[in-house]
Amino acid sequence: MTAKRILSGMQPTNQLHLGNYLGALKNWVALQDQDYECLFCVVDLHAITMPYDRDKLAQATREIAAAYIAAGIDPAKCPIFPQSAVPAHSELMWLFATMTQMGKLERMTQFKDKAGKNKERAGLGLFSYPVLMAADILLYKATHVPVGEDQKQHLELTREIAATFNARYQAGFFPQTEPMILGEATRVMSLRDGTSKMSKSAESDMSRINLTDDADTIVRKIRKAKTDPAPLGETIESLQGRPEALNLVTIYAALAGVSRAEVLAQFGGQPFSVFKPALADLAVETLSPMTGRMTDLLSDPAEIDRILASGADKARALAEPVLRDVREIMGFWRG
Ligand code: AMP
Ligand code: TRP
């Protein structure tokens, strides 16, 4: 029986932000010390499903790897690798494409968001993005996938694809992967609008805290974060209808590793003029060392390349036997 195995990944597009850190990366770091075998991928094949800059892709891939390591992932324990360096991801995706209904892909909210109004002109790559994600996961028979809440629907599709394969070809071959949506901040919202997700692609840089922001920038963004005039309430319920206040409390809780109720026990009744500076201090204290480590790591790109190459070797060694089994189970010729 396969042990518990984790696979997760992030796209090398733009900068990572606080949502990526609190919704995913921070949890990965905690999980690597538990009873899981972990693999962390930089999903560069996913990154090219939207317009991108070819001159920056390789460097963006290094930057994501550096962020993983700076946040605390130990590459000696958990292989870190570029998705494109393991060709089996793409091949398994094609095989899975024959087990995926278009209607299901059409219902994916991330596709709808990214395709925008003109769905007819969206690329096949963007449309089939979740099938590639299922391949990323099932190629390693990963049993657990830690992600932010926005990926839940994609993981549901992964489970469906695994079930279709198992029903059509071989019972029990792929596991039913469990999503791990952990911590207080599974969906960090924009600092400018508490009803929309903090995202890499939002136009305003003031809407997010990037992992590369310096201390002054973090302080300024939190000071200017949208809020309402009322002081913080004493209970979570009192934050209903106050999405911006709830978001800042959630961020504080996740950064401090405490519950939102504990944050409100401390700050309930206080105005934002008290809470925001405390939050800014905490954010700087947590993120600055990480930013520093990232800068150090990026000053030696050859070392990051070695880490990625060695991660890719380890990933390939795990992936190839699974793909070989899949080909055989599906009935392909084998010389
Ligand atoms: P992406 O930036 O789309 O490659 O996402 C990488 C990881 O960060 C995924 O696990 C996402 O679910 C997570 N993530 C992205 N944005 C947020 C957010 N605003 N709040 C929480 N998690 C997020
Ligand atoms: N779709 C994920 C995102 O946008 C990134 C991703 C690709 C991923 N493949 C994955 C996450 C496999 C977890 C496991 O955030």
Q: Does a structural domain hold residue 143? A: yes
Confidence label for 175 from pLDDT (cuts 50, 70 and 90):
very high
Q: Is the CB of 67 under 6 A from ligand 1?
A: no
26 and 150 housed in the same domain: yes
Ligand 2 geometric centre to CA of 267 (Å): 35
Count of domains observed in the chain: 2
Residue 15 has what pLDDT? 85
Cα dist from 18 to 46, 116, 211, whole Å: 21, 25, 7
Give the integer Cα–Cα distance in Å for 271 and 10: 36
Contacts 24+ apart (CB under 8 A), 314-319: 314/79, 314/81, 315/39, 315/41, 315/79, 315/81, 315/85, 315/86, 315/140, 316/85, 316/86, 316/88, 318/39, 318/140, 319/86, 319/88, 319/89, 319/139, 319/140
9 and 138 housed in the same domain: yes
The one catalytic residue among 4, 114, 152, 226: 114
Confidence label for 1 from pLDDT (cuts 50, 70 and 90):
very low
Q: Does a structural domain hold residue 87? A: yes
167 and 247 housed in the same domain: no
Across the range 12-41, mean pLDDT stands at 95
In this structure, of 2-6, 153-157, 244-248, the range with the lowest mean pLDDT score is 2-6
Q: Is 26 a catalytic residue?
A: no
Q: Ligand 1: which of 15, 18, 20, 180 to mutate, judged by most atoms within 8 Å of the beta carbon?
A: 20
Q: Does a structural domain hold residue 316? A: yes
61 and 156 housed in the same domain: yes
- Can you tell me which atom of ligand 2 is nearest the CA of 46? 7
The DSSP bridge partners found for residue 145 are 179
Q: Does a structural domain hold residue 193? A: no
87 and 222 housed in the same domain: no
Q: Ligand 2: which of 41, 84, 157 to mutate, judged by most atoms within 8 Å of the beta carbon?
A: 41
Percent of the chain with pLDDT strictly greater than 90: 95
Is the predicted pLDDT of residue 61 greater than 50, yes or no? Answer: yes
107: domain CATH number is: 3.40.50.620
pLDDT tens digits along 119-152: 889 999 999 999 999 999 999 999 999 999 999 9
Is the predicted pLDDT of residue 2 greater than 70, yes or no? Answer: no
Is the predicted pLDDT of residue 219 greater than 70, yes or no? Answer: yes
Cα dist from 305 to 59, 71, 83, 297, whole Å: 10, 18, 14, 11
Confidence label for 203 from pLDDT (cuts 50, 70 and 90):
confident
Residue 120 has what pLDDT? 87
Q: Is 197 a catalytic residue?
A: yes
Q: Does a structural domain hold residue 198? A: no
Q: Ligand 2: which of 147, 155, 157 to mutate, judged by most atoms within 8 Å of the beta carbon?
A: 147
Ligand 2 geometric centre to CA of 228 (Å): 34
Ligand 1 geometric centre to CA of 228 (Å): 26
209 and 324 housed in the same domain: no
Residue 118 has what pLDDT? 85
Question: Locate tokens 């920056």: which residue?
Answer: 56
Confidence label for 265 from pLDDT (cuts 50, 70 and 90):
very high
96 and 30 housed in the same domain: yes
286 and 319 housed in the same domain: no
Average pLDDT across the chain, whole number: 96
265 and 291 housed in the same domain: yes
123 and 213 housed in the same domain: no
Percent of the chain with pLDDT strictly greater than 70: 99
Across the range 165-174, mean pLDDT stands at 98
Q: Does a structural domain hold residue 269? A: yes
Q: Does a structural domain hold residue 192? A: no
41 and 151 housed in the same domain: yes
Across the range 107-122, mean pLDDT stands at 91
Across the range 204-228, mean pLDDT stands at 96
pTM exceeds 0.85:
yes
Q: Does a structural domain hold residue 163? A: yes
The one catalytic residue among 4, 104, 152, 200: 200
255: domain CATH number is: 1.10.240.10
Give the integer Cα–Cα distance in Å for 216 and 291: 13
Q: Are 17 and 191 in contact (CB under 8 A)?
A: no
Confidence label for 202 from pLDDT (cuts 50, 70 and 90):
confident
Residue 227 belongs to what domain range? 205-296
Across the range 3-27, mean pLDDT stands at 95
Q: Is 200 a catalytic residue?
A: yes
Ligand 1 geometric centre to CA of 208 (Å): 12
89 and 234 housed in the same domain: no
Is the predicted pLDDT of residue 214 greater than 80, yes or no? Answer: yes
Confidence label for 160 from pLDDT (cuts 50, 70 and 90):
very high
Residue 163 has what pLDDT? 98
